A and B are shown apart, each in its own frame.
Chain A
């Protein structure tokens, strides 16, 4: 499901409204004495920063209605940029105030009030840590789950201190009504955090799954089948993904985003293709049958287009084949007659998960598979090379402007395919893509 312009505009308007709530609240009701422009700007930026921090919690709460409009990956990207912007505003707030009126330095003076100064230094430190640990998570070597916990704790702290600061300063927020509004906004965001981190896992815990099958697909890729225990499972569309955790309780287990490779269904078992990449995925082969698992799904807006009258072009790189398998299996089940071309690129001929299944699928579908291998063995009969500009010029010199184009794979491949399609005049809204590794 791709977003419509109206849907997206409505969500953006809602975002701006939420963010500007503290500022609008400051204007509602009796106003205190006016100060200079720079002081008022500094104060206003502080209110905006608080509103932006509120909205950050809604952006990453994995709320399906919002994510369906933009795609979860786009939401995370937006969250990241908005976080940096909010940080800049948090710093601008005291800097502008002090620059305009050095008396404001008193706020940071422990001799005036130790608690206040300590809290304000701590919040600046926490906000800085939030940004540094996020932008440099990989180079700092922080494990994903550890980072996620610290990120939640630091952001809750920033919002909490922000609230106390607004209530204690009480220049604009002096009356009980406006104080209640800021308190409600902050409580709602902390409530969202509690919902995402505790209540949702608790609810997931009441709908357990079990590992039903683990088999090696090819080389470093495994197929894992999970089946619902005591419930019907979940309905999902072809191309969507799930947050999966394996362990006795969803509150303790780490969650990992895995694409569903099985056909779209209204319930029942789910198959995931998992490539050994990092800490958790490397141990995937050691999962035992019957082990307890939890599935938070369906998520994602990268799905099989509905219109069967348009030819479909799929570009898969490596493990990016997973959502494409879900789509092909769904098309086969539905006896869909549309023309499908799959470009399947991989490093070598051994690491091509699902390649054995593509041939029988070809018998049920109008499917053409173009296999591209970077390091082909001597007896390789497909294409050799990478799925880059030159290969595309050779294999797809004139893409059908009426087709749907779906891309999933490593970044350079996705960039090359996207650039080629746009260059050849394919409309941007006919191109959809998803990076596999959103963590």
Chain B
């Protein structure tokens, strides 16, 4: 694995994508509930 900076960058990227996916799920729920 890469040094700290690279690690933090990948970790951040993974959680940013997870947040994007949760936002997608929330949009789905909004579309369905409205």
Contact = CB atoms under 8 A, between A and B. Distances in A.
A binds B: yes
Interface of A: 12, 15-16, 19-20, 23, 26-27, 31, 34-38, 40-41, 43-45, 47-48, 51-52, 71, 73-74, 76-78, 81-82, 85, 89, 407, 411, 414-415, 417-419, 422, 428, 433-435, 438
B13 A48 contact: no
Contact of A434 (B2, B20, B26, B30): B2
A414 B3 contact: yes
Nearest to B11: A81
A415 B4 CA distance: 6
Contact of A41 (B6, B7, B17, B25): B25
Interface in B1-34: 1-7, 10-11, 13-15, 17-18, 20-22, 24-26, 28-33
B14 A78 contact: yes
Nearest to A411: B3
The 4 closest A-B pairs by CB, nearest first: A81-B14, A44-B25, A40-B29, A85-B18
B5 A422 contact: yes
Nearest to A413: B3
B6 to A, nearest CB: 7
Contacts of B14: 77-78, 81-82, 85
A24 to B, nearest CB: 9
A76 B4 CA distance: 15
Given A16-B21, A20-B21, A44 B6 contact: no
20 contacts: A23-B28, A26-B28, A36-B33, A41-B29, A44-B28, A48-B25, A52-B18, A71-B2, A74-B6, A77-B10, A81-B18, A85-B15, A85-B18, A414-B2, A418-B4, A419-B5, A428-B5, A433-B3, A434-B2, A438-B1
A428 B30 CA distance: 41
Contacts of B30: 37
Most chain B beta-carbon neighbours within 10 Å: one of A36, A40, A78:
A40
B24 A433 contact: no
Nearest to B20: A16
B24 A74 contact: no
Contact of B17 (A15, A414, A419): A15
Nearest to A23: B28
Interface hub of B11, B26, B28 (most chain A Cβ within 10 A): B28
Interface of B: 1-7, 10-11, 13-15, 17-18, 20-22, 24-26, 28-33
Given A16-B21, A78-B13, A433-B3, 17 more contacts: A12-B17, A16-B17, A16-B20, A23-B24, A23-B25, A27-B28, A37-B29, A37-B33, A41-B25, A41-B29, A48-B21, A52-B18, A76-B1, A77-B7, A78-B14, A418-B4, A422-B5
A77 B29 CA distance: 30
B3 A45 contact: no
Contacts of B13: 12, 78
A438 B7 CA distance: 13
B32 A40 contact: yes
Contacts of B7: 77
Given A48-B21, A433-B2, A434-B2, A41 B26 contact: yes
B4 to A, nearest CB: 5
Contacts of B4: 411, 415, 418
Contacts of B32: 31, 34-35, 37, 40
A333 to B, nearest CB: 28
Contacts of B29: 37-38, 40-41, 43-44
Contact of A52 (B2, B21, B33): B21
Contacts of A418: 3-5
A81 B33 CA distance: 31
A55 B29 CA distance: 23
A34 B1 contact: no
B16 to A, nearest CB: 10
A27 B24 CA distance: 12
A1 to B, nearest CB: 15
B10 A45 contact: no
B29 to A, nearest CB: 4
Nearest to B2: A433
A433 B9 CA distance: 14
